[in-house]
């Protein structure tokens, strides 16, 4: 039995046409959803159309294979313009499949990264135009962002310049596009029989189409005329020169032109709408505006923006996601159930177990309603709140609740391009300008064509302090280079290398060619080590996985398995008796956390299936998240840390590459140095515990003018090696002082970490170049000991070099053995409410166990690089650091009266919670009548002598800011200052106090954990145990699955962890 789908009653003949404003259909559809619910139907001529807008229904439509995407409305009318375009072609069209497979790699993550210089070029034109026009120039937001996005897609994808920012009027192509879009919108909202009578409009439509196709044809002609061989690898190149990997056919000129127009329209129309809505939202939400600009200042600073900055602009990306949520430019998309080949079949499908939908009946997804579904986004779903779209929160959202780019195979293949372009544009514009609405009383009005955009939105752009229009251009580009990811060694042949004694097979699976690009880079790296590689697709591995030599798989997963790997995965899953014993392999996976529920699914599946079939992995699986923008960094780290050590062990010898020139280190800024680092001054340094094992320190720091922080933020510290390290490094190379040192030696000291414990691989490399047979044997034995056990008392590379002077090493040989110095984030342990210009840090000195081997008895104790660096400072010293925004979920509630807080920590994990409690104490000091929600702080330490901030916390407890529960892991009598204390571990005490904790939870408490992974795991287990205990008494027993489901809901909103 099915349930009738609700909807407004229709009129004879015209049906529900009177219920819809043809010029504002999206708003009307949304209003009807508010009246009739998340599913309703309208009769608009022809068959009834179904409208859905809840996450539950959309999720079902997106996950059931029976539903296929279809062009609707204006998009359907554009079939007249581009009948074989990716967005307009009907389901099942042969040309669509060929074009999709051919074009998708052109918009893969690596390809998009390589478009950064062109994107920066066009964005700089917007900056210069606005700067030169002056702060009193009224900017038409949607119009100028149309200029920006059209010029960007044209230059990046087709190597064509429209130069829109150098013209007062819009480019003729833009005018033609607007004519086409407007007419398509009009045609979609009137009866078809009327169109032949609209002769003037039809002529303008035909003229615009003819002009657009001529522009596209001219681009193709120009590209084919270029026979120099130096053709740009872009969209046009893919369409003109590439073949469909399945059929082997090249695209026809009609298909090429259709898709060029498709990308010129879709590639600028939606992104210009996104940027227009974002700027409106930011200008009307000052707090988000400030956070976004502060992040840009912290990550990019005042220098030129680089491609590696983009992945670090997390709040910018979250703001764009949130703008897409509230105002998706592509607001409605259609699907239909396809159950068999009979278009007139009466067969139907049942949605949500009660609504019958006939074959080929149109189902329209109302994206604005979906994106504001309280079941997915909470009671504040109507509010602009970028924090909900930061990575942790974004990944915890229900499946298929955020769909601005469509769904499945017909989803937008240019989403990576659009987001990179939008992040770059937002970053460079907010870096250079302050913005305000031209009309402070402006109320958002939305204009609907093919997409949605703000109408009548104008703003002023004022250059920020310290920036002038004269030097602006040189500031944007500065060094003349853009730090683009250099895709070295693009391999044209499938065989690389010339050493027949060592070979490897490389197999890749990827729709965007990201995995293929990595395989090609890897082949070049292997070539430098004398290894021969063959490169083929995953499907070519069927029945061809060799046992004679290692195999490496490069596998991508986004929403589905890669097209060129589907058969291979099916082969692994279904082949009975398949035996891969003797196969030695490793695997690197590519994924995108924006596709939360399928991130790394395919790489993990392939890895598991290979092992189930008997293959053995010789190096741990690697992974990269392309949304972070550091694909190559992740890939190089995996090779260095996992693959080459693993393959060396497999071959029984160390695999090394030709020695490069490392003097370039002197000219490079350390990769992980805070990009907007400033000098901060030490005001006070206190050693808080007398213990020699990991003593605790407190530091008070003066921040320079203009640098601010929020409670819960981090201070990113760039540490330095010690003078003692330098002395010993000079000793190794027999140099008297730094003035006489080789430049590479000083680069090692300033750029590379000298005090990490040596790995087995590093020790073996030192053994290989050791001149003494006796010491070579000692080093070899030490490497074996380190390899076979998790020893803690292992010397550093520097200690080994000092202790074994017969190791004949050059500075250039030492460089690849050592890791780069990286910045370390420390939780700020104060509140800006206490002092907006000062902050404090709390940390443990990370000391290493003493070396027991007599050969190293004279070696000094080794401490952590960053913790030791901070401990060596004195009042008056300065060091480089930057404020890094903390996780929004790991902060006190903005309204301190809204929800209780339960904080749990051990040792120096008290750092952020001292800031939280100080924040509450300052609120009470400023308003003694303030009524704050309860807060309890559990602090674990070994004994009463190691309590941190005991007196301060006792005072704050007396004032009502917090209740403190000390927990000692060693026997003790009583806490200092009479504070209550217990023996055991923090999580055990929470269980003991559950009668006090549960009422706080019932009041909406938020739980915060800061400490080790063991603490995090222990607290998680106890919280689930308490839930099971309470549930048993209130509503009956809960099985493990029910408890785990409850836990997943908890960690989305009310549980935050910071593990160190």
Q: How, if at all, do strands 348-351 and 446-448 pair?
A: unpaired
pTM for this prediction: 0.56
pLDDT at position 811 is 85
pLDDT grade for 857, boundaries at 50, 70 and 90: low
Tell me if the domain spanning 665-884 has CATH number 2.40.30.10. Answer: yes
Tens digits of residue pLDDT in 86-124: 888 888 788 888 888 888 778 877 788 888 989 999 999
Q: Is the dihedral of CA 702, 706, 707, 712 positive or negative?
A: positive
For the cut 70, the answer to whether the pLDDT of residue 851 exceeds it is no
Please count the other Cβ atoms lying within 10 Å of the Cβ belonging to residue 4.
9
**Which class in CATH covers the domain with range 901-1059?**
alpha beta
Query: Residue 933, CB half-sphere, CA atoms under 13 Å: how many?
Result: 19
pLDDT grade for 220, boundaries at 50, 70 and 90: confident
Residues of the chain with CATH 3.40.50.80: 901-1059
pLDDT at position 293 is 96
List the strands of the sheet with 363-366, edge to edge: 39-43, 48-52, 363-366, 332-337, 67-70
Which of 724, 717, 716, 726 has the alpha carbon at shortest distance from 750?
A: 726
pLDDT grade for 661, boundaries at 50, 70 and 90: very low
Length of the chain equals 1060
Q: Mean per-residue pLDDT for 820-846?
A: 92
The encoded tokens of residue 689 equal 């515990």
Binding-site annotation: residue ranges: 412
Tens digits of residue pLDDT in 458-482: 999 999 988 876 667 666 765 433 3
Element (H, E) at 152: helix 141-158
pLDDT at position 720 is 93
pLDDT at position 310 is 92
pLDDT at position 663 is 45
8 A C-beta contact, residue 540 and residue 567? no
Binding-site annotation: residue ranges for heme: 412
Residues of the chain with CATH 2.40.30.10: 665-884
Burial class of 605 by CB neighbour count within 10 A (0 to 12, 13 to 18, 19+): middle
Residues of the chain with CATH 1.10.630.10: 95-477
pLDDT at position 995 is 92
Mean pLDDT of all residues belonging to the chain: 85
Which superfamily does 495-653 belong to?
Answer: Flavodoxin domain (3.40.50.360)
Please name every residue paired with 625 in a beta bridge, in sequence order, or none if there are none: 591
Q: Mean per-residue pLDDT for 534-550?
A: 89
Nearest-angstrom CA–CA distance, 11 and 6: 16
Tell me if the domain spanning 95-477 has CATH number 1.10.630.10. Answer: yes
Tens digits of residue pLDDT in 193-206: 777 888 888 899 89
8 A C-beta contact, residue 840 and residue 683? no
- Torsions phi, psi of 961, nearest 5? -80, -25
The encoded tokens of residue 631 equal 């694909």
Which of 812, 781, 782, 778 has the alpha carbon at shortest distance from 796?
A: 782
8 A C-beta contact, residue 890 and residue 1056? yes
Which residue reads 């916390």 in tokens?
Answer: 953
Helix, strand, coil % over all residues of the chain, rounded to 5: 45, 15, 40
Put residue 163 in one of left, alpha, beta given phi > 0 → left and psi -120 to 50 → alpha. Answer: left
8 A C-beta contact, residue 251 and residue 98? yes
pLDDT at position 196 is 84
% of the chain at pLDDT higher than 90: 43
pLDDT grade for 879, boundaries at 50, 70 and 90: very high
pLDDT at position 495 is 40
Residues of the chain with CATH 3.40.50.360: 495-653
Helix residue ranges per DSSP H, 160-252: 172-188, 199-225, 235-241
Which residue reads 């009671």 in tokens?
Answer: 379
Which residue reads 């602006």 in tokens?
Answer: 472
pLDDT grade for 418, boundaries at 50, 70 and 90: very high
pLDDT at position 691 is 66
Tens digits of residue pLDDT in 298-357: 999 988 899 889 989 999 999 999 999 999 999 999 999 987 665 566 778 999 999 999
Tens digits of residue pLDDT in 710-724: 999 999 998 999 999
pLDDT at position 485 is 33
Tens digits of residue pLDDT in 271-294: 999 999 999 999 999 999 999 999
For the cut 90, the answer to whether the pLDDT of residue 130 exceeds it is yes
Which segments of 332-456 are extended strands (E)?
332-337, 348-351, 355-358, 363-366, 433-437, 446-448, 452-454
Please name every residue paired with 937 in a beta bridge, in sequence order, or none if there are none: 903, 964
Which of 271, 383, 387 has the alpha carbon at shortest distance from 328?
A: 271
Q: Mean per-residue pLDDT for 850-870?
A: 78
Nearest-angstrom CA–CA distance, 577 and 601: 24
For the cut 80, the answer to whether the pLDDT of residue 816 exceeds it is no
DSSP for 586-598? EEEEEE-TTSGGG
Q: Is the dihedral of CA 42, 44, 48, 52 positive or negative?
A: negative
Tens digits of residue pLDDT in 360-380: 899 999 999 999 999 999 999
Q: Please tell me which residue, 156 or 815, carries the higher pLDDT value.
A: 156
């Amino acid at each position: 039995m099915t349930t009738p789908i609700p909807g407004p009653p229709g009129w004879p003949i015209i049906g529900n046409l009177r219920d819809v404003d043809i010029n504002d259909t999206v708003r009307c559809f949304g209003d009807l959803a508010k009246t009739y619910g998340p599913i309703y139907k309208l009769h608009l001529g022809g068959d009834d159309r179904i409208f859905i807008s809840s996450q539950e229904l959309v999720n079902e439509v997106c996950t059931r294979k029976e539903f296929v995407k279809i062009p609707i409305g204006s998009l359907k009318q554009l079939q007249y313009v581009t009948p074989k375009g990716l967005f307009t072609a009907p389901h099942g069209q042969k040309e669509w499949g060929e074009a999709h497979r051919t074009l998708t790699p052109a918009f893969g993550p690596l390809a998009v990264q390589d478009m950064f210089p062109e994107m920066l070029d066009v964005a700089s034109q917007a900056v210069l135009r606005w700067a030169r026009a002056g702060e009193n120039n009224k900017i038409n937001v949607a119009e100028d962002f149309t200029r920006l996005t059209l010029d960007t897609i044209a230059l990046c994808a087709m190597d064509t310049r429209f130069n829109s920012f150098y013209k007062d009027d819009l480019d003729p192509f833009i005018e033609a596009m607007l004519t086409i879009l407007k007419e398509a919108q009009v045609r979609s909202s009137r009866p078809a029989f009327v169109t032949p009578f609209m002769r003037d409009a039809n002529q303008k439509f035909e003229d615009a189409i003819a002009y657009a196709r001529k522009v596209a044809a001219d681009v193709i002609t120009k590209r084919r005329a270029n026979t120099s061989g130096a053709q740009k690898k872009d969209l046009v190149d893919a369409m003109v020169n590439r073949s469909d990997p399945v059929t082997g056919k090249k695209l026809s000129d009609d298909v090429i032109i259709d898709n060029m127009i498709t990308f010129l329209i879709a590639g600028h129309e939606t992104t210009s709408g996104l940027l227009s809505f974002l700027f409106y939202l930011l200008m009307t939400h000052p707090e988000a505006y400030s956070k976004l600009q502060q992040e840009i200042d912290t990550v990019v600073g005042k220098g030129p923006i680089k491609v590696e900055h983009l992945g670090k602009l997390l709040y910018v990306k979250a703001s764009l996601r949130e703008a897409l949520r509230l105002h998706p430019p592509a607001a409605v998309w259609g699907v239909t159930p396809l159950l068999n080949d009979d278009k007139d079949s009466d067969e139907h499908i049942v949605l949500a177990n009660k609504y019958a939908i006939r074959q080929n009946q149109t189902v329209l997804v109302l994206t604005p309603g979906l994106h504001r579904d309280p079941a997915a986004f909470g009671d504040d779903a109507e509010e602009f709140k970028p924090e909900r779209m930061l990575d942790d929160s974004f990944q915890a959202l229900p499946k298929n609740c955020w769909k601005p780019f469509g769904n499945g195979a017909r989803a937008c293949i240019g989403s990576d391009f659009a987001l990179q372009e939008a992040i770059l544009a937002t970053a460079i514009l907010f870096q250079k300008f302050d913005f305000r609405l031209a009309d402070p009383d402006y109320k958002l009005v939305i204009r609907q064509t093919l997409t949605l955009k703000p109408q009548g939105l104008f703003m002023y752009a004022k250059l920020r302090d310290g920036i002038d229009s004269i030097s602006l251009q040189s500031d944007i580009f500065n060094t003349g280079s853009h730090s683009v990811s250099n895709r070295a060694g693009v391999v044209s042949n499938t065989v690389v290398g010339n050493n027949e004694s060592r070979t490897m097979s490389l197999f890749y699976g990827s729709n965007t060619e990201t995995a293929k690009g990595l395989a090609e880079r890897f082949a070049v790296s292997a070539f430098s080590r004398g290894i021969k590689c063959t490169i083929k697709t995953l499907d070519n591995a069927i029945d061809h996985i060799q046992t004679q030599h290692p195999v490496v798989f490069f596998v991508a997963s986004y929403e589905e398995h890669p097209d060129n790997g589907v058969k291979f995965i099916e082969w692994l899953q279904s082949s009975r008796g398949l035996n891969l014993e003797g196969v030695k392999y490793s695997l690197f996976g590519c994924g995108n956390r924006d596709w939360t529920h399928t991130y790394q699914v395919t790489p993990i599946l392939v890895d598991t299936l290979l092992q189930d079939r008997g293959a053995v992995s010789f190096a741990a699986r690697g992974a990269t998240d392309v949304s972070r923008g550091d694909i190559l960094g992740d890939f190089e780290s995996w090779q260095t840390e996992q693959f080459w050590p693993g393959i060396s062990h497999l071959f029984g010898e160390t695999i090394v590459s030709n020695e490069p020139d490392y003097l370039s280190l002197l000219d490079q800024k350390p990769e992980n140095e805070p990009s907007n680092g400033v000098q901060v001054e030490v005001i006070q340094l206190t050693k808080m515990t007398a213990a020699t094992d990991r003593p605790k320190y407190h530091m008070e720091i003066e921040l320079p003018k203009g640098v601010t922080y929020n409670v819960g933020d981090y201070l990113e510290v760039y540490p330095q090696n010690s003078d003692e390290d330098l002395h010993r490094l000079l000793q190794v190379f027999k140099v008297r002082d730094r003035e006489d040192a080789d430049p590479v030696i000083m680069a090692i000291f300033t750029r590379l970490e000298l005090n990490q414990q040596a790995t087995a691989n590093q020790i073996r490399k030192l053994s290989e170049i050791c001149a003494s047979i006796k010491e070579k044997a000692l080093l070899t034995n030490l490497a074996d000991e380190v390899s076979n056990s998790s020893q803690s008392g292992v010397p550093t590379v520097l200690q080994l070099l000092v202790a074994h002077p017969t190791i004949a090493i050059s500075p250039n040989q030492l460089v690849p053995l050592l890791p780069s110095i990286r910045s370390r984030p420390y939780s700020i342990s104060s509140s800006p409410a206490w002092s907006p210009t000062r902050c404090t840090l709390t940390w443990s000195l990370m000391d290493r166990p003493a070396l027991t081997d007599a050969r190293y008895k004279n070696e000094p104790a080794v401490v952590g690089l960053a913790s030791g660096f901070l401990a060596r400072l004195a009042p008056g010293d300065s060091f480089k650091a930057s404020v890094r925004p903390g996780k929004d979920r790991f902060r006190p509630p903005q309204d301190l009266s809204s929800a209780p807080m339960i904080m749990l920590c051990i040792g120096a994990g008290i750092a952020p919670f001292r800031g939280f409690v100080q924040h509450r104490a300052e609120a009470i000091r400023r308003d003694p009548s303030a009524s704050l929600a309860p807060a309890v702080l559990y602090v674990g330490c070994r004994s009463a002598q190691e309590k941190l901030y005991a007196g301060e916390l006792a005072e704050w407890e007396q004032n009502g800011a917090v209740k403190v529960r000390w927990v000692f892991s060693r026997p003790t009598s009583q806490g200092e200052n009479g504070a209550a204390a217990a023996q055991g571990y923090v999580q055990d005490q929470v269980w003991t106090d559950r009668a006090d904790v549960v009422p706080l939870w019932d009041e909406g408490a938020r739980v915060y954990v800061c400490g080790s992974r063991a603490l995090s795991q222990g607290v998680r287990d106890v919280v689930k145990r308490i839930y099971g205990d309470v549930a048993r008494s209130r509503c009956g027993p809960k099985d493990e699955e029910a408890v785990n489901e409850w836990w997943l809901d908890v960690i989305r909103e009310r549980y935050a962890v910071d593990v160190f």
